[in-house]
């Protein structure tokens, strides 16, 4: 198979982890006889520094013509403490999602057995947890009208959804539920918010098209509680942009670390695959970032954008094997991990590459 992949490292540890993610893609290409070509482009803080904008036109054009995008992270601490900054790295991410029509963000929360102890949740509560989140990604309060009024003393953001936006993501979630345990949980705040009442109405209207899937509705506050209390009760979860943002960070603790979680953003155009962790400037350049989320993002890329299931599974098996062999990055190590098994970014990547080529 011939494919063109755009690597967009972005900020912070993005460059370190996508370097390893790309090595894994190339190793898979050689092992399975595919021909992947690569290009790179800027986004986020590095793009602002180089061009003055967080998503240069050149990057967007390259994204649209690529077969898939392997993405790193965006963000810089400089902006976090400066709410008045007009140009911000995150704008690049949001514009990319909108311009590429990436309305469905898939965040699989899968716990590798070896990491049961890396989580702060009790192993018996966690064992067997396997959740697939569908987070809506191009609507909601992220894209609604926002404004400062009253001479800057008042501000508002608008939580807004249209039926078609809810319908297309909810249908994707139903389809996925069909291939899994046939359970779908829709999360909203319909007891308070009008946009959530619309959300729930749409889910209820679509449900009869999927009679084999059992649907439940949870309010976001209850869902946040149940996720920690009994993660195994969830299978496929569908929710809006903001609730999904918060709930999936929470759910990352089920997997032991943010450093383990991959995500796929798909929709009308090129799919984008990225870790759910951010740019992590506190560890940038130290070579200690966990590359497994980027490696698992590469697996999602092969599976979803290229339909290469066997290749994707080979990557997941490699991650499993390397964890079973006891190797850890610092973020997933625990008190029992021997110092010599704690690896840096590239060394962890090398273990995966060795397993794949063995
Ligand atoms: C995410 C991130 C982004 C979001 C930030 C960086 C804008 O937290 O992808 O989850 O809120 O969507
Ligand atoms: Mg987030």
Query: 1-110+258-358 and 120-255: same fold?
Result: yes
Ligand 1 neighbourhood includes 54 CB (under 6 angstroms): no
Domain 120-255 has CATH 2.40.30.10: no
Say if residue 245 carries a ligand binding annotation: yes
Say if residue 88 carries a ligand binding annotation: no
What is the distance between the alpha carbons of residues 141 and 159, in angstroms, rounded to a whole number? 4
Say if residue 97 carries a ligand binding annotation: yes
Q: How do residues 87-115 score in pLDDT, each as one tens digit?
A: 999 999 999 999 999 999 999 998 888 88
Ligand 1 neighbourhood includes 136 CB (under 6 angstroms): no
Assigned CATH topology for domain 1-110+258-358: Isopropylmalate Dehydrogenase (3.40.718)
Ligand 1 neighbourhood includes 247 CB (under 6 angstroms): no
Question: CB within 8 A of 177, min separation 6: which ones?
Answer: 183, 184, 210, 213, 235, 236
Judge whether 221 counts as a catalytic residue.
Answer: yes
Nearest to 176 by CA among 136, 141, 139, 210: 210
DSSP β-bridge partners for residue 215: 184
Judge whether 189 counts as a catalytic residue.
Answer: yes
User: Going by CA atoms, what residue is nearest to atom 4 of ligand 1?
Assistant: 245
**Is residue 230 classed as helix, strand or coil in its secondary structure?**
coil
Ligand 1 neighbourhood includes 99 CB (under 6 angstroms): no
Question: Out of 221, 230, 317, 334, which one is annotated catalytic?
Answer: 221
Per-residue pLDDT of the chain (358 residues; tens, 9 = 90+): 999 999 999 999 999 999 999 999 999 999 999 999 999 999 999 999 999 999 999 999 999 999 999 999 999 999 988 888 889 999 999 999 999 999 999 999 988 888 888 788 899 999 999 999 999 999 999 999 999 999 999 999 999 999 999 999 999 999 999 999 999 999 999 999 999 999 999 999 999 999 999 999 999 999 999 999 999 999 999 999 999 999 998 998 888 778 899 999 999 889 999 999 999 999 999 999 999 999 999 999 999 999 999 999 999 999 999 999 999 999 999 888 999 999 999 999 999 999 999 9
**Domain ranges for the chain:** 1-110+258-358, 120-255
Predicted local distance difference test score (pLDDT) of residue 257: 79
């Amino acid at each position: 198979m011939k494919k063109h992949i755009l690597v967009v490292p972005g900020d912070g540890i993005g460059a370190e982890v996508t370097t390893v993610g790309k090595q894994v893609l190339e190793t898979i290409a050689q092992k399975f006889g595919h021909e992947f070509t690569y290009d790179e482009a800027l986004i986020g803080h590095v793009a602002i520094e180089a061009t003055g904008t967080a998503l240069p036109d050149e990057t967007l054009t390259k994204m649209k013509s690529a077969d898939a995008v392997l993405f790193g992270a965006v963000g810089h601490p400089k902006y976090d403490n400066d709410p008045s900054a007009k140009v911000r790295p995150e704008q690049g991410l949001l514009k990319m999602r909108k311009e590429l029509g990436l309305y469905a963000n898939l965040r699989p929360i899968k716990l590798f057995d070896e990491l049961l102890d890396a989580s702060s949740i009790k192993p018996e509560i966690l064992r067997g947890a396997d959740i697939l989140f569908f987070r809506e990604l191009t609507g909601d309060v992220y894209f609604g009208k926002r404004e400062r009024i009253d001479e800057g003393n008042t501000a508002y953001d608008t939580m807004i959804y249209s039926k078609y936006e809810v319908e297309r993501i909810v249908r994707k979630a139903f389809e996925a539920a069909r291939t899994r345990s046939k359970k779908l949980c829709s999360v909203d705040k319909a007891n308070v918010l009008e946009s959530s009442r619309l959300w729930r109405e749409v889910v209820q209207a679509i449900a009869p098209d999927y009679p084999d899937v059992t649907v439940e509705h949870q309010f976001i506050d209850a869902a946040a509680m149940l996720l920690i209390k009994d993660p195994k009760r969830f299978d496929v979860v569908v929710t809006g942009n903001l609730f999904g943002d918060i709930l999936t960070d929470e759910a990352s603790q089920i997997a032991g670390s943010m450093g383990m979680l991959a995500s796929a953003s798909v929709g009308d155009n090129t799919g984008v695959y990225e870790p759910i962790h951010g740019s992590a400037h506190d560890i940038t350049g130290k070579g200690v970032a966990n590359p497994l989320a980027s490696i698992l993002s590469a697996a999602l890329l092969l599976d979803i954008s290229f339909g290469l299931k066997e290749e994707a599974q080979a990557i997941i098996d490699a991650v499993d094997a390397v964890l079973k062999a006891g190797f850890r990055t610092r973020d997933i190590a625990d008190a029992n991990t021997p110092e010599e098994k704690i690896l840096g970014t590239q060394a962890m990547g090398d273990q995966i590459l060795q397993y794949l080529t063995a």
